[in-house]
Structure 1
Amino acid sequence: SGSTGNPKGVMLSFHSMAYAAQGAIASLKVTDQDRMLSYLPLAHVMERFVVEMASISVGFQLFFADKLDTFVADLNRANPTLFLAVPRIWTIFQTGVFAKMPKQKLDRLMKIPLLSGYMKKRVLKTLGLQDVRYAASGSAPLSQDTIAWYQKLGLELLEGYGMSENFGYSHMSQPGRSCLGYVGEPLPGVDCRISEQGEIQIKSPTLMMGYYKDEAKTKAEFTEDGYLKTGDRGEIDELKRLKITGRTKEIFKTSKGKYVAPAPIENKIIGHQDIEMVCVSGAEYPQPHALVVLAESSAKKTSCDDFKAELASSFQSLIKDVNSTLDPHEHIKFVTIVS
């Protein structure tokens, strides 16, 4: 496991890894003419699934990032045609663009017919993404505002869903069929259902053999008919596209006896340009609240009184806007910045 605490020792067969690689190659129409940049730890499930296994299978050109400081330069060197990233990368790119040109000014320029096309191409070329034909985000939710912003640039940013227990092979959005808020359709061979309790359950040839030396935990992770219990809650639409609505264990109850699912609220808050991470909490409190970590560029400016006043005002507006979309018992009472 790469992102949920101590590694759980997920055991995968060579067959499941090869099956996932072939499924991704078919879905993304990967050829030996494609290019990718490898930058995640090589043990990360997404890196092994899409980058390592697919590149070995097809033989496309693979570049490696040197270090964080050279990331954008490395992207320009690789000039990838396929680019998969975690949400933090997409928000860092966006913040970097806004640091060079304020969002309001860029939005204004992109509305001018003669300048619009030029500005979009210029931004994508600056990031090294001008030749990307498939761009995706995974591992955690990405703000719908951020996805919409990239789509305005002409980059159809798609979301995917998977976990170590199925080698990351589960759902992927398809070009032209994506829908904001959904993580895509089942990949070939994947059967997905929603339990009576609202939990996403998945069966596929890529499921793990179990947890290393932990038969009890392995047994608890599967239903009697062999479906993996993901621990995520979700909904499926008429096109079989999946929406993640939260974690089954993260739902909490306020002191008023009302249940709150934090993930959908967090997705609304994370779109703020000064926020990098957010956690909505409030168990046994009258109302939920939000703990946020500022983006690095914003955190550096908190010693400035004018910026702090501006930030406080924008957070008040954020609370008002977010609460207008929520039920009364879900309303955010306050936002607190944490280190």
Structure 2
Amino acid sequence: MTVVALLALDGVPAPQLSTPALLFGAASRTFYRRPPYELRVCAARDAITTAPPGPLLVTPERGLDGLADAGTVLVTGYGDCPAPPPPAVLEALRAAADRGTRIATIGTGTFALAATGLLDGRRATTAWSHAPELARRHPRIEVDLTDWPVADGQFLTSAGVLGGKDVCVRIIEEDHGKEAALEADRQLFLMLPNPSEALRADTPTKARAEETPPPDTAIAAPLVPTTTWLESNLHRPLTLADIAAHANTSVRSLNRSFRVHTGLTPLQYLLRARVRHAQWLLEHTDTPVEQIPTRTGLGTPANLRHHFQRLNGTTPTAYRTAFRTLVALFAPPPEPK
């Protein structure tokens, strides 16, 4: 399990607490069951207050000790061009850096990291309105005016757009690839339901109760050849017997193995893979919706619409439109020629 310690500083804008929770939670629910994130809210004080308007009193889950075993420390913003945080915070950040921990910042959180001296001689960014002050206070930092996260070594700084959405997506992409980052973005902004739960709802209660949760949420190694073969043969009319024959096992053993390691039956997994491939075609190609059922094994346009609506809460056409609008909205500007 990947631990992300969200270091909340007094005066943090409330969206910088909620956005990481939503995105890392969405990443943990991706269908391919990548290792989930544990998000800890840590602070140097027993309680912190969020920025106005409507300040809230927040009781953090952990103190600075919560940074000790974190794979990533994410530092929130904390006001307009703020003063350095308490010495204990600076010491905790330096100790994390010494351990090789990835340290990321949201907005004015860059000022806290800069105060440690760890960004000297490196590129970094912050909110555009605060960039001149960051450059004035820390002339050894190369301040980069950009809306996108700036990576330099183990440090990742951001302008804090949409509560830190951009830097959280970048962290997910670094950990699990672009597809997982897009999936988290998709679930958050298109408000898609968790497809695995929709499929599991079709499993009888007794069968669900007997399922054993996997020790590791990644697809287990023994299933990889079978799932790879399934995803390469989505267009074929596969049956349980076909899948069991390929796996060189009985139908009963196949069902048990899939339930243990994926939480789904083989046919539920196959259906989700077909719908996921339909999503990919809608996102990355101009294939007409009418042709997608044949390419994915879903049979007919009516079948495609039914399963797509049930698992994703929307129609294929509406999904394609919404996804492309989202991509256009958050796509980085083109590189200058």
Task: Choose 1 or 2 for highest CA Rg.
Answer: 2
Indicate the structure with greater helix content.
2
TM range, normalised to the smaller chain?
A: under 0.3
TM-score, length of structure 1 as denominator length: 0.26
